[in-house]
């Protein structure tokens, strides 16, 4: 619409005026993702978002995603201003892994190497030895297991169990889960597959095990996007946040994408799997943030310094 186009133009001017760059997650609204690309920013998973922020010269990073992504950007770029369209955009994994309880858990198992998913607070990161994203969890845990280390993993139990099964690592799991991926239903997925026998099934490892077990490809958002581009299949059943369809359609417009069922009898629903916190990022709020400077992320310098260590370990490992 005209209104939307005007809003986008206003945001472009503001980004330019303020020497700011927009970094958007694959799960955000398609308009935000497109705008990030049109303005020289990036659309990415959380690992690539972090890396992009450190490499881009802009003085202000505008992070369209959820709170932990803004915090990670700030931790890695303490001298830069980091803004978010909505500071209330959190994550069920982060929410359900409060630092006091998590620190207790770690204290009770001092002989374990603490590995946490990026979807955690700065405090939880600071208490850990490694931070990983879904794209790099497997090689990091394999590396640690080969050295004979025992692992305390948090907070996503599904991803933890998946990695444990593949590596045979000795792992203690924090009982967290993602509200979006937890909803995918194995029985309904089996029915949908029966209706679309040629479809490849793509699953994010935050999903329950009986859903992961039906996958042709299990991987991070980036890996699932690559699969749509490279596999010969015409049809795909996708078990992750539906925001990802924007990028998949852009790169592979001739493919047919079906959302994996979140409930009910074999129905595919394209907009059922949507993260309520990712959806809080809107063009309107983005414009406001740039105009008022509200939505700035602050992380105390000493906390940032401690949280940076395990994140940097991941970035160095990923090189
Ligand atoms: O579910 C999330 O929040 C994901 C997949 C984050 C990421 O690593 O990009
Ligand atoms: Fe957290 Fe799940 Fe939303 Fe990702 S999709 S931000 S893991 S609640």
Q: Which ligand is nearest to the CA of 177?
A: 2
Cα-to-centroid distance, 119 and ligand 2 (Å):
8
Confidence of residue 266 (pLDDT cuts 50, 70, 90): low
Predicted structure pTM score = 0.94
Domain identity same for 81 and 57:
yes
Minimum CA distance residue for ligand 1 atom 6 = 46
Do 83 and 104 share a structural domain? no
Task: Answer yes or no: is 285 within a domain.
Answer: yes
pLDDT of residue 272: 80
**What does the pLDDT read at residue 267?**
73
- What pLDDT is recorded for position 271? 72
Does 128 reside within a domain?
A: yes
In percent, how much of the chain has pLDDT > 90?
A: 93
Distance CA 220, CA 204 (A): 6
Going by pLDDT thresholds of 50, 70 and 90, the confidence category of residue 87 is: very high
164 plus 207 within the same structural domain: no
Which is the closest atom of ligand 1 to the Cα of 91? Answer: 3
Q: What confidence score (pLDDT) does residue 265 get?
A: 53
**Beta strand pairing call for 130-132 and 171-173:** unpaired
Domain C-terminal end among 259, 287, 313: 259
Ligand 1 surroundings by CB, under 6 angstroms: 45-46, 118-119, 133-134, 178, 206, 220-221
Point out the domain boundary residue: 149, 173, 197: 173
What are the pLDDT digits (tens) for 189-210?
999 999 999 999 999 999 999 9
Is the domain of 286 the same as that of 238?
A: no
Structure confidence at residue 263 as a pLDDT band (50, 70, 90): confident
Question: How far apart are the CA of 311 and the centre of ligand 1, in A?
Answer: 15
pLDDT of residue 270: 73
Instruction: Give the residue, by CA position, lying nearest to ligand 1 atom 8.
Output: 46
CA distance 237 to 253: 15
* DSSP assignment of 160-227: HHHHHHHH---EEE--B--TTGGG--HHHHHHHHHH-TTPEEEE-TTS-HHHHTT-SEE--HHHHHHH
Confidence of residue 186 (pLDDT cuts 50, 70, 90): very high
- pLDDT (0 to 100) of residue 264: 55
Give the pLDDT score at 268.
Answer: 74
Number of other CB atoms surrounding residue 182 within 10 Å: 17
Residue 311 lies in a domain: no
Contact between 212 and 205 (Cβ < 8 Å):
yes
Does residue 278 carry a pLDDT above 80?
Answer: yes
Distance from the alpha carbon of residue 113 to the mean position of ligand 1, in angstroms:
22
Average pLDDT across the chain, whole number? 95
303 is a domain residue:
no
133 CA closest ligand 1 atom index:
8
229 is a domain residue:
yes
Of all atoms in ligand 2, which is nearest to the CA of residue 91?
A: 1
- Co-location of 80 and 9 in the same domain: yes
- Tell me the percentage of the chain whose pLDDT exceeds 70: 99
Whole-angstrom Cα distance, residue 218 to residue 201?
Answer: 9
Index of the ligand 2 atom closest to the CA of residue 65: 6
Among candidate residues 173, 199, 233, the one where a domain is terminated: 173
Q: What is the pLDDT of residue 170?
A: 97
Same domain, 159 and 119: yes
pLDDT in tens, 120-160: 999 999 999 999 999 999 999 999 999 999 999 999 999 99
pLDDT band at 316 (very low <50, low <70, confident <90, very high): very high
Whether residue 282 is contained in a domain is answered as yes
Domain span at residue 43?
Answer: 2-90+278-298
pLDDT of residue 319: 83
In a domain, 208, yes or no: yes
Whether residue 83 sits in one domain with residue 8: yes
* pLDDT over 90 at 217, yes or no: yes
Per-residue pLDDT reduced to its tens digit, 3-23: 999 999 999 999 999 999 999
Residue 271 lies in a domain: no
Residue minimizing CA distance to atom 2 of ligand 2: 178
Same domain? For 139 and 72 the reply is no
* 2-17 vs 30-38: helix crossing angle, rounded to 10: 40
Task: Give me the pLDDT at residue 111, please.
Answer: 97
Q: Give the chain's domain count.
A: 3
pLDDT for res 152: 98
Residues with CB under 6 A from ligand 2: 27, 66, 91-93, 119, 178-180, 206, 241, 275, 277-278
CATH number, domain with residue 232: 3.40.50.10800
pLDDT at 50: 86
At 92-118, the pLDDT tens digits run 999 999 999 999 999 999 999 999 999
Report the distance separating Cα 287 and Cα 31, nearest Å: 13
Instruction: Give CA–CA dist 225/69, Å, rounded.
Output: 20
Q: Any idea which ligand is nearest the CA of 184?
A: 2
CB 201 within 8 A of CB 193: yes
User: Which residue is it, tokens 């980004």?
Assistant: 15
Q: Which ligand has the shortest distance to the CA of 90? A: 2
Ligand 1 pocket test target in 134, 176, 203 with most atoms within 8 Å of CB:
134
Do 110 and 143 reside in the same domain of the chain? yes
Which DSSP category does 296 fall into? B
């Amino acid at each position: 619409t005209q209104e939307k186009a005007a809003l986008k133009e206003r945001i472009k001017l503001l980004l330019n005026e303020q020497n700011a760059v927009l970094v958007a997650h694959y799960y955000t609204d398609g308009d935000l993702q497109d705008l990030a690309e049109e303005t020289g920013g990036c659309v990415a998973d959380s690992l690539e978002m972090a890396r992009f922020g450190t490499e881009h010269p802009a003085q202000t990073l505008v992070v369209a995603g959820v709170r932990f992504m803004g915090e990670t950007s700030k931790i890695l770029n303490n001298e830069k201003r980091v803004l978010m369209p909505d500071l209330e955009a959190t994550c069920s994994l982060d929410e359900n892994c409060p630092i006091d309880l998590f620190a207790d858990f770690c204290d009770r198992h001092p002989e374990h190497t603490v590995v946490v998913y990026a979807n955690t607070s700065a405090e939880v990161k600071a208490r850990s030895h490694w931070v990983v994203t879904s794209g790099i969890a497997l090689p990091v845990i394999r590396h640690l297991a080969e050295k004979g280390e025992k692992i305390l993993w948090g907070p996503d139990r599904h991803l933890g169990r998946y990695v444990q099964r593949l590596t045979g690592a000795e792992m203690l799991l924090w009982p967290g889960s993602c509200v979006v991926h937890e909803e995918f239903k194995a029985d309904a997925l089996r029915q949908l597959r029966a209706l679309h026998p040629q479809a490849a099934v793509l699953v994010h490892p935050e999903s329950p095990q009986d859903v992961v077990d039906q996958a042709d490809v299990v991987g991070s958002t980036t890996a699932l996007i690559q699969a749509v581009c490279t596999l010969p299949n015409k049809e795909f059943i996708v078990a992750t946040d539906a925001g990802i369809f924007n990028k998949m359609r852009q790169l592979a417009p001739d493919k047919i994408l079906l959302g994996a069922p979140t409930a009910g009898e074999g129905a595919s629903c394209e907009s059922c799997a949507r993260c309520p916190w990712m959806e809080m990022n809107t063009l309107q709020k983005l414009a406001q943030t740039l105009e008022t400077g509200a939505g700035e992320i602050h992380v105390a310098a000493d906390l940032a310094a401690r949280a940076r260590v395990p994140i940097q370990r991941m970035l160095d490992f990923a090189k």
